[in-house]
Structure formats: structure tokens, C-alpha cells
Amino acid sequence: MSNTTPFATVADIERLVRPLTQAEQTRAGELLPVVSDVLRQEAMNRGYNLDEMLADGTLLDNAIIGVTVDITMRALLTSTTDEPMTQFSQAAMGYSVSGSFLSPGGGLFIKDSELKRLGIKRQQLKTIEWYSV
């Protein structure tokens, strides 16, 4: 059975970002194991094991804590009652409305840059053989 310990704690979030309300603390406590397991799955999909990387020093503790906190805070800041808009504009007589969603599909959103910080998504060089010899 794999390790299911969260990579970060509610105390890490409060230390790195800001103090949380009681409701946010409860929600963060529920989100942290999910975020950690999603990161583990993303790593496994690419042939990496985050727990082993932490154990052998390939990945630093603070790197995984920072990424876990970032993802968890993004999920906490996503509105659960209103439309999670990051940008919104509207006009009057021309009937124009536009906006950008924080997380269009809802749920967790992991950025490519966060996976790159963990070393599980790297740039690849691929070539195509145009001529056969």
C-alpha cells in the first residue's frame, strides 16, 4: 500500500500564506490529502514516485510543501457559491459581457509549472526521421 500522508499541513498553509478561518481550516484539512494523492498520481503517470524522491533527496521537502500549498489555496479561493471569475467586464447598450473563470471545470487545477517544479514534467526533445537510409 502506498503512503497517503499529505505533503503539507494546515499549519504550513497558515505559515506560508495567511491565517485561515475555521471553515477554511476544515476545508483545507479535507483538501490536503486529496491534493497530495493527485500529485502522487500525476507523478506515477509519468513514471515517478514522489515519496521515493523525497526519501532519497531527489525532491526537497519545501518544494513539495510549496506546490501542495499553492494548489490547496487555489482550491480554497475558488468560490463554491458564485461563479469563480477572475476577470469580468460588461457593457450597457451594446449588450456585451465577458469573463475568465478561475477553474472552468471546477475541482483541482494543477499547473504545468507546478509539475515542472517537482521535476515530474520536463521538456522533451523529439525528432522525426524524414529520410530512410
Helices (H), 2-104: 10-16, 22-45, 50-55, 61-77
Pick the residue with more confidence: 133 or 58? Answer: 58
Instruction: Count CA within 13 A, CB hemisphere, residue 61.
Output: 4
User: For residue 110, which of 98, 122, 100, 118 has the smallest C-alpha distance?
Assistant: 118
Of 82-91, 96-105, 122-131, the range with the highest mean pLDDT is 122-131
Query: What's the CA gap between 65 and 8, in Å, rounded?
Result: 5
Is the confidence at residue 58, as pLDDT, over 80? yes
For residue 131, what pLDDT is reported?
76
Q: At what angle do helices 22-45 and 61-77 cross, to 10 degrees?
A: 120
Which residues fall within 8 angstroms of residue 56, CB to CB, at 6 or more apart?
Answer: none
- Which pLDDT band holds residue 83 (cuts at 50, 70, 90)? low
Is the confidence at residue 121, as pLDDT, over 60? yes
For residue 1, what pLDDT is reported?
44
Pick the residue with more confidence: 120 or 89? Answer: 120
Handedness of CA 7, 69, 75, 102 (dihedral sign): negative
Query: What's the CA gap between 108 and 15, in Å, rounded?
Result: 22
For residue 91, what pLDDT is reported?
73
Paired with 89 in beta bridges are 98
Pick the residue with more confidence: 50 or 95? Answer: 50
Mean of pLDDT values over 10-34: 95
